[in-house]
Amino acid sequence: MLYEQIYFDSPDVGGLEKEYLNRCIDSSYVSAYGPFVSEFEEKFAGMLGCQSAVSVQSGTAGLHIALHELGVGEGDEVIVPVLTFVATVNAVRYVGADPVFIDVDPLTWNMNPDRVHELITPRTKAIIPVHLYGNPCAMDEILNIARQYNLYIVEDATEGLVSKFNGRFTGTFGDFGIFSLNGNIW
């Protein structure tokens, strides 16, 4: 063979990873519940400076739960950027609401806050800013608009885990923030 085969996602389990995996196996908690989950949630909330964090199965699930908990439902509208992963829009549809697409700023690829006012109707209940590719949205402007119209903010920070806006982590400005860590959403 001329070239050594390089696997896309080959396991790299060293001493500490092996220890943690064995602890999980020994405790019989190897999935979405157990002492490691609550420990992670506590530490993650502490890192973000939030009151609490809850882990869920996916970003879609996190967005869905957030919208549901805020009472967004049938007949409501949620403003979402045209440039996002489909999960953002799917979550809006899962609660029976209608997505209202907003254009993005050509420099940031994030929702253009200057256009939000044009899209708000009496049916508008929430805005989902998506911090695309780790690039923070203009949260000051978006929050001002949300306050002015009494709208909820659910931040899709699945691509902006450690991104900051004005010294604060993305996902910590709105009513809910949804994050992703190695394909798992927190």
Say if residues 182 and 9 touch (Cβ distance below 8 Å): no
Per-residue confidence (pLDDT) for residue 183, from 0 to 100:
47
Buried b (16+ CB within 10 A) or exposed e, 87-109: bbbebbebbebebbebebbeeee
Q: Candidates 2.120.10.30, 3.40.640.10, 3.40.50.300, 3.40.50.360; correct CATH number of 57-185?
A: 3.40.640.10
Q: What is the pLDDT of residues 11-39, one digit of tens each?
A: 777 888 888 888 888 887 766 677 788 88
Tokens describing residue 131: 């911090």
**pLDDT at res. 185:** 44
Q: Spell out, as residue ranges, where the chain has pLDDT lower than 50.
A: 183-186
Nearest to 174 by CA among 89, 66, 75: 66
Q: Output the pLDDT for position 154.
A: 98
Give the model confidence (pLDDT) of 67-90 as tens digits.
999 999 999 999 999 999 899 999
Looking at residue 12, what is its pLDDT? 74
Q: What is the pLDDT of residue 30?
A: 67
pLDDT of residue 79: 98
Q: What is the distance of C-alpha 77 from the center of its chain?
A: 19
Which DSSP category does 170 fall into? Answer: T
Per-domain residue ranges for the chain? 57-185
Kindly report the backbone phi and psi dihedral angles of residue 11, in degrees, each rounded to the nearest multiple of 5, phi listed first.
Answer: -70, 145
The rounded distance, in Å, linking the Cα atoms of 16 and 154 is 35
